[in-house]
């Protein structure tokens, strides 16, 4: 009986360890699948992004969303906003993504913005038949106000069951970091608008309505393939989406989140030309995670070709 008891204790102990490891593994797989699924969704909606003289494509620091009512946006993280013909019969939709972090409730999420034309409060204005000179209709070379001017805290309050106008939802849980970098037609990283010394002052990362030129087949005479321009009576808005966008995220599983880890601030390492060095930024963030005892993070990246950025 004593021998049997000892054997049973050992078996149950081993079973508990195996069961715990299996559950933990399932949770990590679930988190990673959500992250992959979110990147696939972003890529699917980003690929057909469109711009013209009435529409805009912007990559912006997330604090600009906080300024109009978004809560728990992650410091130093980017956001993206664009228009895409992904509705019924190719109808336009306003789409966007940003990073959300509520440490008290242990919510680490990639948030999705999605607005249909019937949302009169928040869908960007495309036409005004009564006033063709309506300034609200104009995209701005230095700001994202074409999207943001009419947004308010209610737009981001998806937890209120009576708020049918909310424009946000959760794309994936467990996302603790998020970077985006645009590329030009020759495959070179596009410098941030905010880092340009020629362009009028702006807080944006990329702006289709900025003043710029993009080389098509060969670099300019100075060897560069993208150039911001100073404002003048002759200069025109670029009105062009990037050729490609690289997106990287870092995830942690629910077991790690339950331990209330200390998540470091996102790092943004810029190259000398003002473009984001994604690899260096991710590596530094991972080093700080490990310094905080977080060893189970996972990096996922994708590079999306934009159909309308091809030429």
Q: Is 301 helix (H, G, I), strand (E, B) or coil?
A: strand
Asked if 127 and 182 touch (Cβ cutoff 8 Å), the reply is: no
Distance (Å) of CA 301 to CA 68, 91, 242, 250, 293: 29, 29, 17, 9, 23
Question: Angle at CA 271, nearest 5°, toward 250 and 235?
Answer: 110
User: What would you measure as the largest C-alpha separation in the chain, in angstroms?
Assistant: 96
pLDDT digits (tens, 9 = 90+) for 141-163: 999 999 999 999 999 999 999 99
Residue pair 245/180 in contact (Cβ under 8 Å)? The answer is: yes
Cβ partners under 8 Å of residue 187, min gap 6: 243, 244
Q: What is the pLDDT of residue 221?
A: 92
In sequence order, the β-bridge partners of residue 307 are none
Burial code of 132-159, b = ≥16 C-beta within 10 A, e = fewer? eeeeebbbbbbbbbbbbebbeeebbbee
Record the tokens describing residue 239, joined without a space: 């009105």
CA 227 to chain centre: 24
Alpha helices (runs of H) in the chain, residue ranges in sequence order: 2-46, 63-66, 145-148, 254-258, 278-291
In this model, does residue 56 exceed pLDDT 50?
yes
Compute the distance between CA of residue 139 and CA of residue 68 in angstroms, rounded to an integer: 18
DSSP designation for 298: E
Q: What share of the chain is helix, strand, coil (3-state, %, to 5)?
A: 30, 25, 45
Give the global pTM.
0.88
Instruction: Please provide the average confidence, as pLDDT, over all residues in the chain.
Output: 89
Interval 57-74: pLDDT, tens: 999 999 999 999 999 999
Percent of the chain with pLDDT over 70: 88
Question: Is the Cβ–Cβ distance between 45 and 305 less than 8 Å?
Answer: no
Residue 136 — very low, low, confident or very high, per pLDDT cuts 50/70/90?
Answer: low
DSSP assignments along 140-183, one per residue: -SS--HHHHTT--GGGG-TT-TT-TT--EEEEEESEEEEEEEEE
Residue 45's Cα: distance from chain center in Å? 12
Q: How confident is the model at residue 218 (pLDDT cuts 50, 70, 90)?
A: very high
């Amino acid at each position: 009986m004593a021998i049997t008891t000892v054997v049973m204790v050992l078996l149950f102990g081993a079973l508990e360890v195996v069961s715990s490891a299996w559950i933990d593994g399932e949770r990590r797989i679930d988190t990673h699948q959500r992250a992959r699924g979110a990147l696939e969704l972003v890529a699917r909606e980003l690929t057909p992004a469109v711009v013209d003289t009435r529409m805009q494509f912007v990559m912006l620091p997330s604090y600009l969303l906080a300024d109009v009512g978004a809560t728990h946006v992650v410091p130093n993280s980017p956001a993206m906003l664009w228009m895409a013909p992904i509705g019924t019969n190719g109808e336009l939709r306003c789409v966007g993504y940003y990073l959300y972090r509520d440490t008290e409730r242990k919510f680490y999420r990639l948030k999705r913005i999605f607005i249909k034309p019937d949302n009169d409060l928040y869908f960007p204005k495309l036409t005004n038949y009564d006033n063709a000179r309506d300034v609200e209709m104009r995209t701005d070379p230095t700001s994202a106000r074409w999207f943001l001017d009419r947004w308010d805290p209610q737009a981001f309050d998806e937890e209120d069951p009576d708020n049918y106008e909310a424009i946000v939802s959760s794309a994936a849980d467990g996302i603790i970091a998020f970077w985006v970098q645009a590329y030009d037609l020759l495959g070179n990283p596009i410098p941030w608008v905010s880092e340009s010394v020629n362009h009028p002052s702006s807080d944006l990362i990329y702006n289709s309505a900025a003043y710029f030129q993009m080389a098509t087949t060969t670099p300019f005479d100075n060897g560069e393939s993208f150039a911001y321009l100073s404002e003048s009576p002759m200069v025109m808005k670029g009105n062009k989406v990037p050729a490609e966008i690289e997106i990287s995220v870092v995830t942690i599983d629910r077991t790690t989140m339950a331990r209330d880890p200390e998540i470091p601030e996102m790092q943004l390492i810029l190259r000398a030309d003002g473009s984001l060095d994604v690899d260096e930024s991710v590596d530094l963030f991972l080093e700080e995670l490990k310094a905080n005892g977080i060893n189970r993070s996972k990096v996922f990246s994708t590079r999306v070709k934009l159909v309308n950025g091809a030429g």
